[in-house]
Amino acid sequence: MPPQWSSSPPELLLALDRAGDRPLNAQLQQALRDAIRTGRLRVGERLPSSRELARTLGVSRGLVQECYAQLAAEGYLITRPGSATRVAAGALTPPGTPHPPSAPPLPAADFRTGVPDLKSFPVADWLWALREAARTVPTAGFGYGDPRGSAALREVLAGYLRRVRAAAADPRHIVVCNGYAQGLHLALDALAAAGVRTVAFEDPGSPAAVTAAAAASGMRAVPVPVDTQGIDVRALTATPARAVVLTPAHQWPTGVALAPRRRLALLEWARAHDAIVIEDDYDAEFRYDREPVGALQGLAPDRVISLGTVSKSLAPALRIGWIVCPPRLADPIAERKHRSDHGTPTLDQLALAHLIESGRFDRHLRRVRAVYAARRATLLTALAEHAPGVPLTGLAAGFHAVVHLPAGADEENVRTAALERSVGLYGMSGHRASGLGEPAQLVLGFGDIGERQIAAGIASVGPLLRGPGG
């Protein structure tokens, strides 16, 4: 689809050689033909008015009108009285121009993970917060500002994290970033500069993301197994790692919380090995039938880097995250953030600060917690009806769960058969360092799928989940 420009005349860059031998009208016609043939101007795209193009090029309006009429006669343009001149539907396209491949149809019920309820994004509240940010920001606020991020947002975040996550957050040691991926890269880069050569990660977990970030920082990444108590600290101790990336409040993707004894053992490992724990606090706002689990950073602020974002609580499109740094790493991480991009957009930061400070963020969280709780209940009911006896774990918090397929089931076969029924299922194998599908498990997300789709999807794939002969 061509760009739909506003009512003001669109600009068009065309070059005319006034010192050349060719007449200007012939040059203009050729320039427009070339722009259409090469794809600079697409079918349906609007051209400047003859008056505007004549003014821009410094030629007579009659010359431009003559050019437009000639190209319309050749089938390149379409002109109508009282309407803009546009590139005609039958205009030539560049030789060999590939047509964009049509996207495969989305499943009718897609249990994709890691995506919140995008329909619940508080549009009205966000627009209000943006207006407040633009209205109250001082003139100096439109500059690059502090590489750590907006002082107002860091102050609000520190208070929020102390209140909600029991974090030992100091605004001087918070660096605002563009989401989890950048936060992880900045943290590992600073640790590599401090001499850390190996970083560990949970298995299953996010092997691709951590391995890529580690490689970009010149580090090696090693997997450490996770069990029902969280990461195996003994196995971690057996590695040469001096940093570890983990999700202690709600392990991704198994859903277990790091047991209290493991938490203490992990922090003791960090002290004994002069190591750093990188805590991904990705969906701690959403819990259902368990006691709240505080941030690990609150127990050892000198040994824990805590990464947080609004990707799960609001929407990934905002690209706002934060790094709560140990005091000695705050300056190195802020320096790397400055070198990376000179800072996260200030108006968005100020809008988030207004959203949190006004109480509208808390109100939004209460609303979406109820949405996820209802979907969780629908998922449990549907599985109990259509796949009774199939174990389901990891549901104490967040918006995904783990289905444990029966012995003999093949994860990939189940996924393929489900897709034939227009149901999107996702295997645990993609989260294992080995990539293996044993034991066969599925990770079902219910963040961005409605209750009716959940019920219909599980009804459709219930026999597949029960295994061979199900």
What does the pLDDT look like over 98-124, one tens digit per residue?
A: 555 666 777 899 999 999 999 999 999
At 20, which CATH number? 1.10.10.10
- Reported confidence tier of residue 291, pLDDT bands at 50, 70, 90: confident
- Which of the listed residues 298, 328, 362 is the one where a domain comes to its end? 362
What is the reported pLDDT for 397?
87
- Which of the listed residues 36, 68, 102 is the one where a domain comes to its end? 102
Q: Under 8 Å CB-to-CB from 406, ≥6 apart: which residues? A: 390, 466, 467, 470
Residue 326 covered by a domain: yes
Q: CB 209: neighbour CB atoms within 10 A?
A: 17
What is the reported pLDDT for 470?
61
Are residues 321 and 376 both part of a single domain?
no
- Reported confidence tier of residue 12, pLDDT bands at 50, 70, 90: confident
Which structure tokens are listed for 417? 């058969």
- Reported confidence tier of residue 245, pLDDT bands at 50, 70, 90: very high
pLDDT (mean) for 280-293: 79
- Which of the listed residues 102, 130, 146 is the one where a domain comes to its end? 102
Residue 395 covered by a domain: yes
What confidence tens digit (pLDDT) does each residue in 364-388 have?
Answer: 999 999 999 999 999 999 999 999 9
pLDDT (mean) for 219-229: 97
Helix (H) or strand (E) holding 426: none
Residue 155: closest CA among 363, 359, 319, 354: 354
Are residues 367 and 348 both part of a single domain?
no
Compute CA distances 92 → 34, 74, 96, 320, 379, whole Å. Answer: 10, 10, 11, 43, 52
Between 2 and 389, residue with greater pLDDT: 389
Are residues 318 and 372 both part of a single domain?
no
Q: Angle 61-73/50-57 helices, nearest 10 degrees?
A: 120
Domain count, the chain: 3
Residue 462: closest CA among 408, 403, 407, 410: 403
Are residues 83 and 139 both part of a single domain?
no
Are residues 357 and 370 both part of a single domain?
no
Are residues 323 and 226 both part of a single domain?
yes
Residue 83 covered by a domain: yes
- Return d(Cα 38, Cα 302) in angstroms, integer: 58
Are residues 458 and 319 both part of a single domain?
no
At 397, which CATH number? 3.90.1150.10
Residue 310: closest CA among 297, 300, 319: 319
- Return d(Cα 271, Cα 250) in angstroms, integer: 23
Residue 215 covered by a domain: yes
Q: Do β-strands 220-227 and 198-203 pair in parallel, antiparallel, or remain unpaired?
A: parallel
What confidence tens digit (pLDDT) does each residue in 141-200 have?
Answer: 999 889 999 999 999 999 999 999 999 999 999 999 999 999 999 999 999 999 999 999
Residue 28 covered by a domain: yes
3-state secondary structure of 442: strand
Q: Under 8 Å CB-to-CB from 456, ≥6 apart: which residues? A: 108, 109
pLDDT (mean) for 30-41: 91
Are residues 279 and 196 both part of a single domain?
yes
Which structure tokens are listed for 440? 């066969």
Are residues 94 and 143 both part of a single domain?
no
452 neighbors 468 (Cβ within 8 angstroms) = no
What is the reported pLDDT for 70?
93
At 248, which CATH number? 3.40.640.10
Which structure tokens are listed for 187? 């943290």
Q: 28-42, 114-128, 216-230, 255-269: which range is least confident on average?
A: 28-42
Residue 306 covered by a domain: yes
Are residues 22 and 59 both part of a single domain?
yes
What is the pTM for the complete model shown?
A: 0.86
What confidence tens digit (pLDDT) does each residue in 210-221 have?
Answer: 999 999 999 999
**Phi, psi (degrees; rounded to nearest 5) at 263:** -60, -45
CA angle 143, 145, 149 (to 5 degrees): 135
Structural domain for 96, as ranges: 1-102
Does residue 93 have a pLDDT over 60?
Answer: no
Are residues 237 and 342 both part of a single domain?
yes
Residue 470 covered by a domain: no
Does residue 82 have a pLDDT over 80?
Answer: no
Task: Answer positive or negative: Cα dihedral of 39, 43, 44, 47.
Answer: positive
Q: Under 8 Å CB-to-CB from 352, ≥6 apart: which residues? A: 129, 153, 156, 310, 318, 320, 361
What is the reported pLDDT for 84?
85
Does residue 3 have a pLDDT over 80?
Answer: no
Are residues 349 and 384 both part of a single domain?
no
Residue 268 covered by a domain: yes
* Share of residues in the chain with pLDDT > 90 (%): 80
Which structure tokens are listed for 277? 């724990």
What confidence tens digit (pLDDT) does each residue in 13-24 have?
Answer: 898 998 888 999
- Reported confidence tier of residue 95, pLDDT bands at 50, 70, 90: low
- Return d(Cα 169, Cα 162) in angstroms, integer: 6
What is the reported pLDDT for 344?
94
